[in-house]
């Protein structure tokens, strides 16, 4: 074989020759502790309810939620993020079921804490959208617009009842201005300095939330573009980060994950607190749907997508595959 000069003088392929070699030099590794499992619990059901748009994911009963939490502990993941789905007749304009100590989310928090104690971080979504009859993340003014400051009062109350119910971590996700500072103050006022705040710092108004609407039985009409971020904007995300850190966020999150890896990388570079990313319902459903049709290798695609999220800078990943992937890694 003819050679031309001294090329190739460097052969990176030497480090790709075998699975063991590739494993040894891997720059990014997934670990069960990276993962947080989002889970839905539905009021008034005796059997889990499959979510059509999210194959393999269900709206849990209280009992099956406790089982899922135990399985998460056994798999070695770090946390479970709970979303409550109330009965339709309990939804109202103020989302009062979200602050009822006996509402489905608070009951579920108590159930899971009683089941797993401190072996798993029990996290709660702190938002009104599941509980309002209009489906928005806040209360509305007399012109039908989300009232930022009135919503903050509701978030403060939510934070306190969720802490009382056993949440280790609350996750304010409504994208209201000032929400992290208000939630932190509300927790401190009741002596719950121990409860951490995971800020949904960068949350885009994304088309990829579609399957989640079914998962939480959303009543939303219209969209959330007046409070969630515009997909075109990156500098705005960094402004949100600076505000949340100044208001006392213990951890920050980017949501969605896959379509916004550039934003995730910027946030991870700038933040001095742990950074999470949420691989949302649409990201999950696309892989599951393509795999069901035989278009992609499901297991490889899942690991590749998660590795990309971690490589971009996520310390923790919320994913509906959390328990499954953690078992594989172990």
N- to C-terminal Cα distance for the chain?
46
Reading the block at residue 75, the tokens are 């798999």
Structure tokens at 206: 């994304």
Q: Give catalytic status of residue 310 as yes or no.
A: no
Choice among 66, 203, 266, 310 that is catalytic: 203
255 is catalytic: yes
Cα separations (Å) of 103 from 25, 82, 90?
Answer: 49, 13, 9
Residues 6+ apart with CB under 8 A from 276: 36, 198, 251, 252, 253, 254, 314, 315, 316, 317, 318
Phi and psi angles of residue 326, each rounded to the nearest 5 degrees, phi first: -60, -40
- Report CA dihedral (123, 236, 136, 166) to the nearest 10 degrees: 10
Active-site pick, 255, 266, 293, 310 = 255
Distance CA 154, CA 156 (A): 5
Residue linked to tokens 């403060």:
156
Secondary structure of 82-112 in HEC code, one letter for each residue: EEEECCHHHCECCCHHHCCCCCHHHHHHHHH
DSSP of 180-235: HHHHHHHHHHTT-TTSEEEEEEEEB--GGGHHHHHHTT----S--TTTSBPTT-SH
Residues identified as active-site = 203, 255
């Amino acid at each position: 074989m003819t050679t031309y000069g001294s090329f190739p003088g460097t052969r990176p392929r030497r480090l790709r020759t075998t699975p063991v070699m590739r494993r040894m030099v891997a720059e990014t590794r997934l670990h069960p502790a990276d993962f947080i499992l989002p889970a839905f619990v539905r009021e008034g059901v005796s059997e889990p309810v499959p979510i059509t748009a999210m194959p393999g994911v269900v709206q849990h009963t209280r009992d099956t939620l406790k089982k899922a939490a135990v399985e998460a502990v056994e798999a070695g993941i770090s946390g479970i993020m709970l979303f409550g789905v109330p009965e339709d007749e309990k939804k109202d304009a103020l989302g009062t079921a979200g602050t009822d100590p006996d509402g489905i989310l608070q009951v579920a928090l108590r159930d899971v804490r009683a089941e797993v104690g401190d072996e798993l971080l029990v996290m709660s979504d702190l938002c009104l959208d599941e509980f309002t009859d209009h489906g928005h993340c806040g209360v509305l003014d007399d012109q039908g617009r989300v009232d930022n400051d009135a919503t903050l009062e509701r978030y403060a109350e939510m934070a306190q009842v969720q802490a009382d119910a056993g949440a280790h971590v609350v996750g304010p996700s409504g994208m209201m201005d000032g929400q992290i500072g208000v939630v932190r103050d509300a927790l401190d006022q009741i002596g719950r300095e121990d409860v951490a705040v995971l800020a949904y710092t960068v949350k885009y108004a994304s088309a990829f939330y579609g399957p989640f609407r079914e998962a939480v039985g959303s009543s939303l009409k219209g969209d959330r573009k007046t409070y969630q971020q515009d997909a075109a904007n990156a500098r705005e995300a960094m402004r949100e980060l600076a505000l949340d850190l100044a208001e006392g966020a213990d951890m920050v999150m980017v949501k969605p994950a896959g379509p916004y890896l550039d934003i995730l990388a910027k946030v991870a570079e700038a933040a001095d607190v742990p950074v999470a990313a949420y691989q949302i319902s649409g990201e999950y459903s696309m892989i599951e749907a393509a795999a069901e049709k035989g278009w992609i290798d499901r297991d490889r695609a899942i690991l590749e997508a998660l590795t990309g999220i971690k490589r971009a800078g996520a310390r923790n990943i919320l994913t509906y595959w959390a328990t499954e992937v953690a078992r594989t890694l172990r």
